[in-house]
Amino acid sequence: MSKAKVALIGCNFAGISLGLAIKRALEHVEVIGHDKDREAVRQAESVRAIDRSDWNLPRTCEGAAAIFICAEHDELETTLRAIADDLTPSTLVVAVGVRSVAALEMAQKLLAKDVPFFSTALVYHPDRVSDGSALPAPESIRDAIWAIAPSAGASTAMVDALFALASQLGARPMFIDPLERDGMALAVEVMPAVLSRILMLAVSDDAGWRERMWMAGASFGQAVHSARRAAALADALCAQPKVAVHWLNQVMRQCIALRDAIAQGDSRAITAIFSQAEARHQEWLSNWRKGRTEDHIPIERDHGGLLKLLLGERLAGRLSGNKTR
């Protein structure tokens, strides 16, 4: 059986975790990686997340059954323009980790109407990914929530194919509303980086910082570290100004409550604030460990050959509920 081709654009954390999951779960697939950063490609090759790499973007995607775009949001338009002419209704095009509304609008503008494009996000299980880990583990995608927003050009069969593929890789696929996804992503993905930058400014603006900076070591460095660039943070905040202001107001509300309790010497109120935060943290972790439970979404039997190509006929039949195969 000839191998199906999967193109992986962007060898960052998400790209490498996807490559590892695909290589582990799918037998007759060849993963071709592409990234303008040579070191990122080298890392993907070193952990065998890709079979080989190609520096030519259109050639990487040529003839691919599925294309996963894990590049930064500002690189998505360049990528779609470069590959648009070669995409067909049977090519699964999946953007991972970009702003959903903007990505769907971009795809509508640049791609043919019948090209199945999906704006998605991989939300990793808190127990599967260690803080500060540069490279994903082989099991990083297991039990991750794969939030999916299909374009208007995505047929029911292609939606089913992506859901089945995500499930086979160990993730838990779910539909999302693009606006809701973007608003929550701003809170849980962008705001931590914003607050770390604000903390850095707050501490370093103090008159005593120059002489006392040597008291700030590794723990402080971890607290204020973020891989997000300043321009990317500004772009994310300005893309949703009302939502950004809402979450900043929420943070300031909590800070004011804590400030007032400290000023009043109210240790019980201070303890209550932190106890409530810890209880909610534990509740969040507990819910992740229990797992999200939803009714099974049936998979259509007519997949246009995509599932058979990627998963093999027997597995595709099993996922579609066809017991005779």
**pLDDT, position 3:** 85
- CATH number at 205 reads 1.10.3660.10
Does residue 132 share a domain with residue 243? no
Does residue 172 share a domain with residue 67? yes
Does residue 267 share a domain with residue 302? no
Give CA separation, 76 vs 31, 68, 302, in Å: 20, 11, 30
Does residue 137 share a domain with residue 95? yes
10 Å CB burial of residue 239 (0-12, 13-18, 19+) is: middle
> Any idea which residue has 């593929």 for tokens?
165
Residue 48 structure tokens: 């065998």
- CATH number at 68 reads 3.40.50.720
Neighbours of 317 (CB within 10 A): 18
In this predicted structure, the answer to whether residue 140 has a pLDDT above a threshold of 60 is yes
In a domain, 325, yes or no: no
Give the lowest-confidence range in 80-84, 143-147, 221-225, 258-262: 221-225
Does residue 265 share a domain with residue 130? no
Does residue 55 share a domain with residue 127? yes
pLDDT band at 318 (very low <50, low <70, confident <90, very high): very low
In a domain, 61, yes or no: yes
In a domain, 324, yes or no: no
Give the lowest-confidence range in 46-55, 137-146, 241-250, 275-284: 137-146
In a domain, 130, yes or no: yes
In a domain, 284, yes or no: yes
Best CA proximity match to 117, nearest among 72, 142, 151, 87: 151
10 Å CB burial of residue 48 (0-12, 13-18, 19+) is: middle
Which DSSP state fits 7?
A: E
| pLDDT average, residue stretch 2-20 | 93
The DSSP line for 195-211 is HHHHHHHHHHTSTTHHH
pTM of the model: 0.85
| Per-residue model confidence as pLDDT tens digits over 161-176 | 999 999 999 999 999 9
Contact (Cβ atoms closer than 8 angstroms) between residue 17 and residue 125: no
| Per-residue model confidence as pLDDT tens digits over 97-136 | 999 999 999 999 999 999 999 999 999 999 988 755 567 8
Does residue 158 share a domain with residue 244? no
**pLDDT, position 312:** 59
Percent residues over pLDDT 70 in the chain? 88
In this predicted structure, the answer to whether residue 304 has a pLDDT above a threshold of 60 is no
d(CA 60, CA 54): 6
Does residue 26 share a domain with residue 144? yes
- The residues with which 208 forms a beta bridge, in sequence order, are none
Best CA proximity match to 17, nearest among 5, 33, 1: 33
In this predicted structure, the answer to whether residue 153 has a pLDDT above a threshold of 70 is yes
Does residue 195 share a domain with residue 129? no
Residue 89 structure tokens: 């209704």
User: How many domains does the chain fold into?
Assistant: 2
In this predicted structure, the answer to whether residue 313 has a pLDDT above a threshold of 70 is no
Does residue 201 share a domain with residue 149? no
Does residue 276 share a domain with residue 149? no
Residue 324 structure tokens: 């005779």
SS3 helix, strand, coil % of the chain, rounded to 5? 55, 10, 35
Question: Which residues span the domain enclosing 250?
Answer: 181-290
Residue 76 structure tokens: 């998505």
d(CA 8, CA 34): 6
Non-local (6+) Cβ contacts of 319 within 8 A are 164, 167, 168, 299, 307, 311
In this predicted structure, the answer to whether residue 303 has a pLDDT above a threshold of 90 is no
**pLDDT, position 34:** 97
Contact (Cβ atoms closer than 8 angstroms) between residue 30 and residue 55: no
In a domain, 282, yes or no: yes
pLDDT band at 296 (very low <50, low <70, confident <90, very high): very low
In a domain, 66, yes or no: yes
Does residue 221 share a domain with residue 165? no
| pLDDT average, residue stretch 267-289 | 96
Non-local (6+) Cβ contacts of 187 within 8 A are 247
